Structure 1
Amino acid sequence: MIVLHYGYGVTEVILTGFISAMIQTVAVIYIQYKMNKATYIKYHFNLRITRIYLVYCLPLMFSGVIFFGLNGLERWFLIIYVSFNDVALYAIAFKFALILVLLMQPFGMWWMPKRFEYLSKNGANTTTEITHISIVLLCVLTVLVCYFSPFFIDWFMPPSYQPAKEMVYILAVIFAIKELNELINLGALVKQETKKLLVINIFSTIIGVTMIILLTPYYKINGVLIALIVAQSIRTLSTYWLSQRCFAFPYAIKKIAGLFVISAVAIGLSQYQSTILLHLSNAFLSISTLLIFSFWNQLIIFPITGKSTQITQKR
């Protein structure tokens, strides 16, 4: 805000992000050092252990680098083929759709490291139940973002940025597919098939970038959005296929498909312009329908008990 107030440009704005990241890094290192000192934990280097970790982690790291083709590179092509104003609209819609990722982060920070422990201690059925809950949470948050992001754009952005509302829901769906990929990749990670995950990321990125190159000159931003949806869908479906081959989790596929259909209808309804009262009523009805469907079909089970094995067998 300070940089923008004094009229600095894009480079300075990006620099503020770098400064923020460095402050976070230094703070985390300091906190970690204090915790280790209090618990008498010392760092040590072991070449054999390091080699094992690198074999597992390097493909994931390269996947992140390659994934830039589906999460950043598209803006380079937009700058070439559309106006700067359209790029700004895309950036605003991107930021508001990113709220979905931020809302999923608390759950992800708890579940992503814990799921390996749950699998080893409680088995595949309990792990699958929590994955079902995470998918329901993802659908609910996606619908919420699609309903309320246009309001935030109306309230906080100048009138010239109002067209960004038309892109938010598509970008939210793209982020939802991306988050879904992270929720269902456990089987591949358990069997340490990170190299195959790297191949999937390379393949989907090549498809996405190729479609962006071919579609953007003709369809502009819509071409980019179509390419991202297709590439992310291929990536997620391929990851699901690989993970299930590595470790078969008893997902309730038909019920999850029904959940996705309800979510798609709700997202479609969120795009109709109406009064605030009617819009909020539709949002409440959509979320209620998702939750009722999930509880009725036992995609949400509280508390998770030893009966989970019987429930999963009935599916």
Structure 2
Amino acid sequence: MPGRGLRRLPGRLSMLRARWAALPEGLRATLLYAGATGWTKGIGLLLLPLITGLLPAAEFGRLELLSAAAEIAAVLAGAGLVDTLYRFASLPGAEGRLGAARVTGLAIVVTLIGLVGAVAAAPLGARLPLPALPVEVTLLGISVALEAAIGVPLAWLRMQNRAGAYAFVVILRGTLHTVLLGLLLWQGFGIAGMLGAGAAASLLAALVLLAGQARDTGIRMQPAAWRPLLAYGVPLIGSGLASFALGTADRWFLAGSVPAEALGHYALASKLALAMAFLMQPFELWWYPRRLGVWAGADGPLHSARLAGTGAAVTLLAAAVATLAGPVLIRLATPVAYHAAATMVPFVVVALVLQSFGSLFNIGAYIGRTGRLPFLVNSLAGAVAVSAYALLIPRFGVPGAIAATVLAQGVRLVVFAILSQRRARADYPHGPIALLALAAGAAAAIPQLLPPVPAALAAAPAFLVLGLLAIRLDLLPAPRLPRRVAA
């Protein structure tokens, strides 16, 4: 009976709330982070056929070059403020709130400077290897400038275990961005419409977050208190710029060495490979704000090593999803002109795995008063990347860019691991991680050897086997099934 079902609804909702409240706090936060990330990236993927159908591969390549330019600006606009917040707002009580208020005030100043810079930089688009219109540069610059005002309040929400509020803002921003992007692209606004959608969504998110931050901690404009914040954060800008060299700087070398269509293929492969990063986000959002506290706590090295092993397993399982699903999605959901991107996906994923491992096993580099050691390591890896780009890209094109990135990320991982162990020794589960990595690499061959439909059917069993292997290797905890109570 419909009426009886409606009468039972409040009771069922209460039962669900009780079960939700009974879950461990970390699991609740991870589920909320996963839900927010899955929603925003899932609805974004729904637009992939529209984007690839309306944008030629050459335009997709031009958009990728603009995004690469934006990454440099984003590093400068962020000013290392999120990591600075972790460092200076982690103290309990009023002292931590004061630190957060000061970092937020600095973030607003950086944002205002960035907005002025976005307008001033508009004419520079004509000087790019693939020229951009002034309006495109300005709209992209607005989104970039707002990242500091968005990133700091979001990081504060994670530090306070307010995963629900974090998820709400992320879903709001992602949904608005996707809806506006689809509408503007459908109306023929092209790249400018896509960038305008991002700027509008970022502006709304920044206003919502700053209003909440003002209520929670206040906002302090105290230039006299910014010196230690900048002393910690500014070296991290250098780390970020070095990370740019490890990430999207290759687009600048490629723009002068390969056709725009090839750059578009590489851009599509990179975007689908980034599904791995999206799947890792729930764990990273939970773990990175806490890892220094865990290390400083009781049995810190033991717990840190265990959780780093868990993070490595999550990384490899996320990589498996990207390598199993990405090539299939390219061949089934995009025009034939984009299908060359499918073979690039697993190799791009290798670079992302090495990047993630470098961040998981570098806790010793962040135990200190300044960000000098991460800056030096990232700078070394960035120099290796740029040198390899200059050497390999003119001769080998996109494969040379991928090989150079893998080499540089490998150098970064090895150097971070060695130096971190000297400062903060921990017994990481290297053997089990290596075995799981070999299995994930074997699974990545499935969509490269099989047609799209059989590969899609084989993906779920392959992922299940990898998950069971991660549990068997004690990298992931075995799921606990509820026990049936005897009558």
Fold shared, TM-score > 0.5 on shorter chain: yes
Residue identity in the other structure for 2:211: Y
Structure 1 residue 49: Cα displacement: 5.8
Q: Structure 2 matches for 1:57-68, cutoff 5 A? A: 57-68=233-244
- Please name the residue that 1:18 is paired with: 199
How far apart in 2 are the matches of 1:242 and 1:49? 31
Deviation at 1:99, TM superposition (A): 1.3
- Tell me if the contact between 1:128 and 1:251 (Cα under 8 Å) persists in the aligned partners: yes
| Residue in structure 2 matched with residue 115 of structure 1 by the alignment | 291
CA deviation profile, 1:195-253 (whole Å, cap 9, x unmatched)? 12111111111111111111111111111111111111111111111111110111122
Q: Distance in 2 between matches of 1:48 and 1:148?
A: 51
Match for residue 180 of structure 1 among 354, 357, 361: 357
Cα distance between partner residues in 2 of 1:275 and 1:19: 37
CA distance in 2, matches of 1:225, 1:111: 29
Pairwise CA distance, 1:45: 5.9
Instruction: Give distance in 1, aligned partners of 2:309 and 2:435.
Output: 13
Q: Is the 8 A contact 1:191 1:247 kept in 2?
A: no
Q: Please state whether the residue corresponding to 1:81 is helix, strand or coil.
A: coil
Which structure has more relative contact order (CA 8 Å, sep 6+)? It is 1
8 Å CA contact retained: 1:191, 1:246: no
Correspondence for 2:252 among 53, 76, 82: 76
Residues in 2 aligned to 1:6 and 1:279: alpha-carbon distance in whole angstroms: 33
Assess, with a 3 A threshold, how the Cα gap between structure 1 residues 244 and 286 changes in structure 2: closer, same or farther: farther
The aligned counterpart of 1:194 is 371
> 1:244-290 CA deviation, whole Å, 9 max, x = no partner?
11101111222222222222222233421246345533x34433443
Structure 1 segment 181-260 matched on structure 2, within 5 A: 181-192=358-369, 194-260=371-437
- Distance in 2, matches of 1:179 and 1:149, equals 19
C-alpha displacement of 1:193: 6.1
Partner of 1:5: 186
Q: 2:301 aligns with which of 107, 124, 127?
A: 124
Matched residue type, 2:406: I
Change in CA separation of 1:14 and 1:212 when aligned onto 2, cut-off 3 Å? farther
* Unpaired segments ≥5 residues, structure 2: 1-181, 480-487
Give percent identity, aligned residues only: 24
**Which amino acid counterpart does residue 31 of structure 1 have in structure 2?**
G
Q: Aligned AA for 1:113?
A: P
Structure 1 CA distance for aligned equivalents of residues 317 and 337 of structure 2: 30
Shift of 1:156: 2.5
Cross-structure match for 1:99: 275
Query: How do 1:277-288 and structure 2 match up within 5 A?
Result: 277=454, 279-281=456-458, 283-288=459-464
Q: Per the alignment, in what secondary structure is the counterpart of residue 397 of structure 2?
A: helix
Pairwise mapping of residues 148-187 of structure 1 onto structure 2 (< 5 A)? 148-187=325-364
Deviation, 1:301, is 3.8
**What is the RMSD computed on CA atoms of the aligned residues?**
2.3
The answer on 1:145 being equivalent to 2:326 is no
SS in 2 for 1:300: coil
TM-score normalised by length of structure 1: 0.85
Q: Is residue 94–residue 171 contact of structure 1 (8 Å, CA) maintained in 2?
A: yes
Deviates more, 1:209-218 or 1:3-12: 3-12
**Which deviates more, 213-222 or 2-11?**
2-11
TM-score, normalising length from structure 2? 0.57
Q: 1:265 aligns with which of 442, 446, 468?
A: 442
Which of structures 1 and 2 has the bigger CA Rg? Answer: 2
1:27-81 CA distance string (max 9 Å, x none): 21122224x2xxxx43446678643333332222221123222222211222211
Can you list the C-alpha shifts for 1:70-96, whole angstroms capped at 9, x where unaligned?
222211222211111111111111111
Give the 3 Å change call, closer, same or farther, for CA 244–49 of structure 1 in structure 2. farther
The aligned residue for residue 476 of structure 2 is 300
